[in-house]
Every structure is written in C-alpha cells, then in structure tokens.
C-alpha cells in the first residue's frame, strides 16, 4: 500500500476538463515533482488532494484511506499540508503567530501556546525567519512570505507536504537558499514532498521522480533525466520538431 495513491482521477468544471484519468503513486519519503504548462491541471490536482474540491471521477487514497470528500481541515489533521501558489498569509498576525496557528491546529493539535510557540520558533529558525518573528506577516518580502507559508505548513506536522510553485517570483539566490532550506528540513524529519514547479532547475534538483501533465493528462513520468529527454515532453513544451 503506497503512501499517496491517485487513481484514475478526473475533474471537470462545467465544460472544461481540467484533469483526465490521472494515476500515479507516491512512496513515503519520496520527493515527487509535478510539471506541466499553465492549465495542465497541476494546481487542480493539489486542490483535489487538499480537499478544496472533489474529483469528478476516480479516487485519492492517503495511507490506504480514501480522502476525496473530506474537508480541508480534516485532511490537514490526517497529515497533508499544502502551500498556495499565491501566498496567503494571515496578514495582520505576526510571523510567529502565523506559524503558531499551524502548530495549534495541525496534526498535533497543541493545547499549550507556550509549546506551540517553541516549535514555531524552531521552524522559523530553519527557514531563516527567526528575527522577523514579531513582525506582521504583511511586512515580509515575497521571499519571506513564501518561506512563512512553508513554515506554517510544516507547523501542522504533516507527513505529506505539497508545495505549489514556491519558487515563483524569487531571484536565483533566493531559489538556492530555499532549496537548501527544504533539503535541510527533509534531512531532519520523515517528510514526503509533492512539488509543483515551473522553475526547472529547482524541480529537477529537488525531485527524485517527475510527473508531467499536459492538458489534464499524464504524458510522462520517470526520473528528471528521463523526463527531460522524453520526446512527448519535448513536443508538449516546444512543439513538434519540423
């Protein structure tokens, strides 16, 4: 029984078919990358897994349990956390409070604010945000807010972390720093990561396996190297060779 199973998942919105018969599995402690052009269905898939929408067909199993149809907060408590493509911090709360919320309501359901704060500070330190702990979340730069998003997700003590285009909008240096931070975190705790990325360098560097979506269908999967030279992927991104 694999960790996360996506089986024949389809999703349509009215007349638009966003996902069509997508199937793949994710093993524990893997880092799986999801790539595809805009509109390929990546964020839709994340929304389905996180519980913001239900699949039109197919099933999603997490640790053997069917999760499609559960509410987002229930899915979080089962151990799945996600970040959003466009950051959604709790803007007027402090950076620390943002992460404390995750600790209070995630898998561990902390009751003590003191303990939650301690864990939160540790996570913030990992992501280089410790000095900004008392500042309002809205005062962070984009890079900071992206890291805060990840920190908040990590505070929920997930087993599966879904990162939705966390590198978007970051400079090359910031991308490198964030990659290193994610690597550190992954070394420290047993974490399975599902990554959606447009920044190829980051995707290829992070992922052990890559799945390619195109117009809602899975057109290729394999190691980053295999996928990079896959003719179907090249055709999808660059068009057919003349």
Q: Tell me the sheet residues that pair with 62.
A: 4, 65
The DSSP result for 46-114, as a single string, is HHHHHTSS--SEEEEEETTEE-TTS-HHHHHHHTEEE--SS----TTSBHHHHHHHHHHHSSS----HH
Site map 121..140 versus other proteins, x via CB under 8 A: -------------x------
Residue written as token pair 């879904």: 162
Closer to other proteins by Cβ: residue 107 or 175: 107
- Is 24 a residue that touches other proteins (CB under 8 A)? no
The nearest distance, CB 136 to other proteins, in angstroms, is: 10
- Is 84 a residue that touches other proteins (CB under 8 A)? yes
The nearest distance, CB 137 to other proteins, in angstroms, is: 9
The nearest distance, CB 5 to other proteins, in angstroms, is: 21
> Taking the CA of residue 89 as centre, how many other CA atoms within 13 Å lie in the half-sphere pointing to its CB?
27
Closer to other proteins by Cβ: residue 112 or 223: 112
Judged by CB under 8 A, which of 107, 148, 151, 196 binds other proteins?
107
Judged by CB under 8 A, which of 1, 38, 64, 114 binds other proteins?
114
* Nearest CA-CA partner of 41 in 161, 200, 168, 219: 219
Of 2-10, 112-120, 209-217, 221-229, which segment contacts other proteins by CB under 8 A? Answer: 112-120
Total of residues contacting other proteins (CB under 8 A): 36
Judged by CB under 8 A, which of 6, 104, 182, 213 binds other proteins?
104
- d(CA 188, CA 122) in angstroms, rounded, equals 12
Q: Are 147 and 181 in contact (CB under 8 A)?
A: yes
Site map 136..175 versus other proteins, x via CB under 8 A: ----------------xx-xx-------------------
Sheet holding 217-222, edge to edge: 80-82, 160-164, 192-196, 31-35, 209-214, 217-222
Judged by CB under 8 A, which of 11, 77, 132, 147 binds other proteins?
77
The DSSP result for 128-172, as a single string, is T-GGGTTSBGGGS-HHHHHHHHHHHHHHT--SEEEEESTTTT--H
- DSSP code, position 21: E
Q: Name the residues that contact other proteins, by CB under 8 A.
A: 50, 52, 71-73, 76-77, 81-82, 84, 88-93, 97, 100-102, 104-107, 109-114, 117, 134, 152-153, 155-156
């Amino acid at each position: 029984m694999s960790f996360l199973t996506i089986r024949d998942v389809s999703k349509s919105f009215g007349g638009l078919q966003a996902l069509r018969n997508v199937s793949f599995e994710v093993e524990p402690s893997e880092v799986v990358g999801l790539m595809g052009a805009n509109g390929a269905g990546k964020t839709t898939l994340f929304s389905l897994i996180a519980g913001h929408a239900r699949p039109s067909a197919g099933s999603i199993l997490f640790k053997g349990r069917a999760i499609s149809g559960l509410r987002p907060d229930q899915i979080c408590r089962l151990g799945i956390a996600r970040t959003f493509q466009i950051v959604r911090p709790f803007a007027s709360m402090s950076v620390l409070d943002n992460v404390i919320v995750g600790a209070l309501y995630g898998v561990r359901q902390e009751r003590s604010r003191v303990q939650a704060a301690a864990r939160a500070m540790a996570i913030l330190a990992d992501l280089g945000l410790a000095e900004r702990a008392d500042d309002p979340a809205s005062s962070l730069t984009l890079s900071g807010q992206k890291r805060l998003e990840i920190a908040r997700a990590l505070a929920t003590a997930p087993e599966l972390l879904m990162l939705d285009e966390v590198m978007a909008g970051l400079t090359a240096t910031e991308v490198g720093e964030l990659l290193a931070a994610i690597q550190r975190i992954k070394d420290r705790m047993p974490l399975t990561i599902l990554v959606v990325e447009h920044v190829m360098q980051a995707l290829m560097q992070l992922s052990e396996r890559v799945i390619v979506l195109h117009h809602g269908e899975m057109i290729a999967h394999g190691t980053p190297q295999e996928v990079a030279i896959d003719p179907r992927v090249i055709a999808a991104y660059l068009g057919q060779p003349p």
